[in-house]
A and B are shown apart, each in its own frame.
Chain A
Amino acid sequence: MLDNLGASLKDAVKKLAGKTVIDRVAVDELVRDLQRALLSADVNVKLVMQLSQAIKQRALEEEPPKGMGVREHVLRIVYQELVRMMGTPGEVTLGPQTILMAGLQGSGKTTTTAKLARYFQRKGLRVGVICADTFRPGAYDQLKTLCDRIGVACFGDPNESDALRIVREGLPRFRKQYEVIIIDTQGRHALEENLIEEIVSINEISRADHRWLVIDAALGQQASEQARRFHAAIGIDGVLVTKMDGTAKGGGALSAVAETQSGIVFIGSGETIEDLERFDPDGFISRLLGMGDLRALVERAEEAVSAEDLDVNAMLKGRFTLRDMYKQLEALNKMGPLKQIMSMLPLGSMQIPDDAYDITSTKMQRYKVIMDSMTPPELDDPSVIGSSRIQRIARGAGVAPDDVRDLIKYYKIMQRALKGMRGMGSGKFNMQRMMKKFGRTQ
């Protein structure tokens, strides 16, 4: 459904292309589609209305600068307004500091606390964590287990029921030894007054440098209200969005940012302790609108693949061997799950079959094992692989011959797809067809 939204948004943008005068109807349509996209991404309704008003007004009133087409002009306004709504990314200083975590029940505070500890630890800081969640059973065990895995000190007492006491005891002790101290707290919502009082007291006792609000990406319209009250209570100066690895768009976080006049500091996007990213407004906007963000992908690809890893030019010329595919699979693994990468490509309008993504972990692994059992000539020129070679490879890799055939089929699809991609410049982007086939081989 959201893919459709991205598509209709693109259609609306397309209608603006090539026009010399701003077309009121086209702008109206664009704004309407934009509204729908943002609303279904859980952005606050009032925020959406303000935003679309501003965009409409600017699009109709401002003259496009010389040399800039109508479409670019309108898109630029849309982009600027969205960025403005998003606020600046929250500051993260790499020095001694105390961070207080706040948020609703089940938003992911404890997991995020551990992820943050890991983040600062990797930046070379000494980190200590205090568990001030005295209510939820198992909270201390959870944090302790996570901290032990990364070798971070964790202070807490599962038998103590007074969170303030834990903070009062733990903080002076940890301040002597550690530079960064993160205080995890119990989940609470803004209507629970005694709990709000508690976090106000924790904030006073700890004199925390930062008070970060953890927001579940799936949180809906309630985000504004909750953020407003948390802000009133302890003064939120940063927002962490969690569970961005689901399908939720995280629009609720924007409402929180608008309410607290702060910025998004980190994004949690996975279940392992490393899955914490600094916030990137461009990527976030793309996700909200269901449109791809090529820049993030390119940057990511550059990180993961060094030039020698992948000879793109040779590939585009059609010399694509199994060796290239091997490297490609490796690179893809480094870049993260396929779906995440695909969501960054500007293919918002395409319907990608979901099972096409499943190739990521198990299948890629198997393909690599199979290729390890091939001889260099076979890797360089897969066409020599006949049925007896298939038998041998299958036996060597410990798989069924059909798996080897599967791999060769996949290779052929990739080869054809890459040939198709060469025509990309002329607008024939064959990705869609490729993905279809991709899905069928699964």
Chain B
Amino acid sequence: MFDSLKKKLQTIRDKFTSNIEEAAGTEPVPPVVEVPEVAEPAPSRVLLPEPPVSEEVLEKEREEPTFFNKIKVLVREREVLLQEKDIEEPLSELEMVLLENDVALPVTDEIIARMRRDLVGRHRKIGSSVDGLVVTTLRSALCGVLGEGLDLREYIAGHERPVKILFTGVNGTGKTTTVAKVGHYLQKNGFSVVIGAGDTFRAGAIEQIRTHADRLGIKVIQHQAGADPSAVLFDAVQYAKAHEIDVVLADTAGRFHNRANLMNQLEKIRRVMKPDLVVYVDEAVAGNDAVIRADEFNKAVGTDAVVLTKADMDPRGGAAISVAHTVGKPILFLGIGQGYDDIMPFEPRAMVNELLGDEA
């Protein structure tokens, strides 16, 4: 996952760098010095790596004495000052890269806007470390979008048992499989688990979760097909309480966010079982619609965390960025294959570092 995005981002980065350097002029530029009169726009969010102070002081000492030099620097600075048109081309290229990688349009727009805001006007001081600037700006944009991760083990350890986790999402994103995988993951980490077979609508769904659970040795609470899912999940919670089980995993039927009745049913489920975590499941290959439905689910029943499935299908993974941005909630896991072990806790910082290739 993210391989192609990573590669593309690297080329874009080079492009930015070369363009910015071009803008800075080809003549051997004397070290650019900060001119006191010009107010420096405040760096947003992430602090820029400051150029070594001693060097700057040295330079200042060298340049400052004459009035003429001051003027010269000022003029040069104007040259160096990155105009919007200088970064327009790489920016629009970055836009295309993000879009090609399934980052939804509004999210792309925001990243680009942030890049533009941060780049235009902030580079004048840097001059020499353009590369660092571009990386930091991109990093801050991506980090801002991806947010913090969430460690499920810590969460469960810090909460009253049983911890109730409700899985929601549209049809076919892999909720049932994810429930099984998370169950397996928690078991491996020493928690006891019970599964509530809350998908009473889709044909074969109960059999599906039942088979998974049997293979993993997890207890399933189930009713008949067509039963009220709230009742099933309530029973699952009661069972967990009676048997002192650590975690209740509640599967639900896939539903579209534009079906008011089904969303109301989900709301009822939430009211009845009072989940500690509502986990929204979507697939990493989803396109722009990911944003719309994530938003609708968030509005209807709330979302505390996100699981992205089928991340192995897609070396891109823009949906991760889109969904995380829309919901503003941490990504809990990535589903990366068909086996029970194919689930991976998500660490945004590590991912951004990997995307951009190096440490700041």
Kindly list chain A residues whose C-beta atoms are within 8 Å of the C-beta of B11: none
| B205 lies within 8 A of chain A by Cβ | yes
| B314 lies within 8 A of chain A by Cβ | yes
- Would A219 and B105 count as touching, CB distance under 8 A? no
Closest B residue to A45 using CB positions: B100
- Would B100 and A358 count as touching, CB distance under 8 A? no
Kindly list chain A residues whose C-beta atoms are within 8 Å of the C-beta of B73: none
- Would B172 and A243 count as touching, CB distance under 8 A? yes
- Would A108 and B313 count as touching, CB distance under 8 A? no
User: A199-247: which residues lie under 8 A (CB-CB) from chain B?
Assistant: 216-223, 226, 242-243, 245-247
A2 to B258, CA, bound (A): 15
User: B168-205: which residues lie under 8 A (CB-CB) from chain A?
Assistant: 170-174, 201-205
- Would A243 and B171 count as touching, CB distance under 8 A? yes
The winner among B101, B212, B287 for most chain A CB atoms within 10 A is B287
> For chain A, which range describes its interface: under 10, 10 to 19, 20 to 34, or 35 or more residues?
35 or more
Of B210, B292, B318, which contacts A220 at CB under 8 A?
Answer: B318
A248 to B204, CA, bound (A): 26
- Would A141 and B290 count as touching, CB distance under 8 A? no
- Interface locus among A142-150, A279-287, A420-428: A142-150
Of A105, A137, A271, which contacts B208 at CB under 8 A?
Answer: A137
Of B201, B208, B310, which contacts A138 at CB under 8 A?
Answer: B208
- Would A247 and B289 count as touching, CB distance under 8 A? yes
Kindly list chain A residues whose C-beta atoms are within 8 Å of the C-beta of B318: 220-221
- Would A141 and B289 count as touching, CB distance under 8 A? no
| B260 lies within 8 A of chain A by Cβ | yes
A252 to B314, CA, bound (A): 14
Of A105, A221, A247, A271, which contacts B102 at CB under 8 A?
Answer: A221
A222 to B283, CA, bound (A): 12
For A25-59 the 0/1 string (1 means CB < 8 A from B) is 00000000000100111100100000000000000
Q: Chain B nearest CB: distance from A342 CB in Å? A: 12
Kindly list chain A residues whose C-beta atoms are within 8 Å of the C-beta of B206: 138
| A107 lies within 8 A of chain B by Cβ | yes
| A126 lies within 8 A of chain B by Cβ | no
A241 to B317, CA, bound (A): 22
A39 to B207, CA, bound (A): 39
Kindly list chain A residues whose C-beta atoms are within 8 Å of the C-beta of B225: 145
Kindly list chain B residues whose C-beta atoms are within 8 Å of the C-beta of A358: 260
Closest B residue to A186 using CB positions: B338
The winner among B172, B209, B257, B338 for most chain A CB atoms within 10 A is B172
- Would A248 and B258 count as touching, CB distance under 8 A? no
Q: Chain A nearest CB: distance from B183 CB in Å? A: 14
Of B96, B261, B287, B293, which contacts A219 at CB under 8 A?
Answer: B287
Q: Chain B nearest CB: distance from A142 CB in Å? A: 3
Of B105, B257, B312, which contacts A39 at CB under 8 A?
Answer: B105
- Would B172 and A138 count as touching, CB distance under 8 A? no
- Would A251 and B204 count as touching, CB distance under 8 A? no
- Would B100 and A247 count as touching, CB distance under 8 A? no
- Would B256 and A221 count as touching, CB distance under 8 A? no
| B286 lies within 8 A of chain A by Cβ | yes
Of B96, B171, B288, which contacts A249 at CB under 8 A?
Answer: B288
Q: Taking A1-B106, A216-B172, A246-B256 as contacts, is the C-beta distance between A137 and B285 under 8 angstroms?
A: no
A134 to B96, CA, bound (A): 40
Closest A residue to B108 using CB positions: A39
User: A250-289: which residues lie under 8 A (CB-CB) from chain B?
Assistant: 251-252, 271
Q: Chain B nearest CB: distance from A30 CB in Å? A: 18
Kindly list chain A residues whose C-beta atoms are within 8 Å of the C-beta of B105: 36, 39-40
Kindly list chain B residues whose C-beta atoms are within 8 Å of the C-beta of A107: 172
A346 to B174, CA, bound (A): 36
12 contacts between A and B (CB under 8 A): A105-B172, A105-B313, A137-B207, A137-B210, A139-B208, A141-B204, A218-B286, A219-B286, A221-B102, A245-B256, A246-B258, A271-B171
- A: which residues have CB within 8 A of B? 1-2, 36, 39-42, 45, 104-108, 110, 135-146, 189-191, 216-223, 226, 242-243, 245-249, 251-252, 271, 339, 354-355, 357-358, 361-362
